[in-house]
Amino acid sequence: MNDVKIKVCGMTSLKQVQELALIGVDYAGFIFYEKSPRHLGNKIAASDLKYFSDIKKVGVFVNESKEKIIRTIDEYGLDAVQLHGDETPELCESLKDTITVIKAFRVTGDEDLVNMLQPYEDSVDYFLFDTKAKEYGGTGKKFDWSVLEKISINKPYFLSGGIGINDIEQVKLFTSANNVFAVDVNSKFETEPGVKEIFPLKEFVAQIRG
Ligand SMILES: O=C(O)c1ccccc1N[C@@H]1O[C@H](COP(=O)(O)O)[C@@H](O)[C@H]1O
């Protein structure tokens, strides 16, 4: 049995969040970035999410102020924050006493990952690797995961970026050989931004775990 965690990001309906919990998804992601087509806005009331504890709730932020992040953690009862922009190690560290911090790094394959990660090593709980594109996230594009195998990453991480139902075997192989804490899926399981396809997600969870 593979004990890698599964996160489904970009949730905009409470019913679908409840369904994720029922099919064994570990983390549900909520986008608090206004420019995203998956921006949560007022699609789920903060009070409804705050007391829903059958799944871990991750708030996704892009270059947001510390004050707004802290307010949102409290309003929505978040369990973790995913910082998906150009947040500094200092901001990450200052939040880490309050909440689990996941720092996203957007990868092309050309960057010096060792130097990018080093300043964050003591300031965050998890790294997350996503594909670098014009948009900050939710691109549906994969990057070359082998760049992660070429360096030593001393922190468990979320593997992200365009992962879909056809990637199950590749994900299983990669997660069993590397320090992957969780697999993060999003746009490849949508009928439209923010609306997930639960049946393929159920199949994905079963096969990754199986
Ligand atoms: O999904 C978004 O719209 C989004 C916007 C801004 C920052 C992050 C966002 N989503 C994150 O994107 C990755 C990968 O998504 P995909 O599988 O390529 O669609 C995932 O970590 C989401 O948390």
Is 122 designated active site?
no
From CA 166, how far away is CA 179, in angstroms rounded? 22
| Buried-exposed string 104-115: b where 16+ CB fall within 10 A, e elsewhere | bbbbeeeeebee
Range list of β-strands (E), the chain: 5-8, 27-31, 56-61, 80-83, 100-107, 126-131, 157-159, 180-185, 190-192, 195-196
Give the Å distance between the CA of 16 and the centre of ligand 1. Answer: 17
**Ligand 1 mutation pick, 7, 8, 12, 31, max ligand atoms within 8 A of CB:** 31
Q: What is the pTM of this model?
A: 0.97
Task: Report pLDDT for 1.
Answer: 59
From CA 31, how far away is CA 166, in angstroms rounded? 25
**What is the residue with the minimal CA distance to atom 6 of ligand 1?**
137
CB 126 within 8 A of CB 102: yes
Side chain identity at residue 16, one-letter code: Q
Give the Å distance between the CA of 170 and the centre of ligand 1. Answer: 20
Average pLDDT per consecutive 10 residues, the chain (210 residues; last block may be shorter): 90 98 98 98 97 97 98 98 98 97 96 96 98 93 96 96 98 96 98 98 95
Does ligand 1 come within 6 angstroms of the Cβ of 194? Answer: no
From CA 55, how far away is CA 79, in angstroms rounded? 9
Task: Report pLDDT for 210.
Answer: 82
Task: Report pLDDT for 45.
Answer: 97
Is 92 designated active site?
no
**If you ran DSSP here, which 8-state letter would residue 26 be given?**
-
CATH number of 5-209: 3.20.20.70
Task: Report pLDDT for 10.
Answer: 98
Task: Report pLDDT for 96.
Answer: 97
Give the Å distance between the CA of 138 and the centre of ligand 1. Answer: 3
From CA 136, how far away is CA 132, in angstroms rounded? 7
CB 202 within 8 A of CB 23: yes
Does ligand 1 come within 6 angstroms of the Cβ of 107? Answer: no
Does ligand 1 come within 6 angstroms of the Cβ of 102? Answer: no
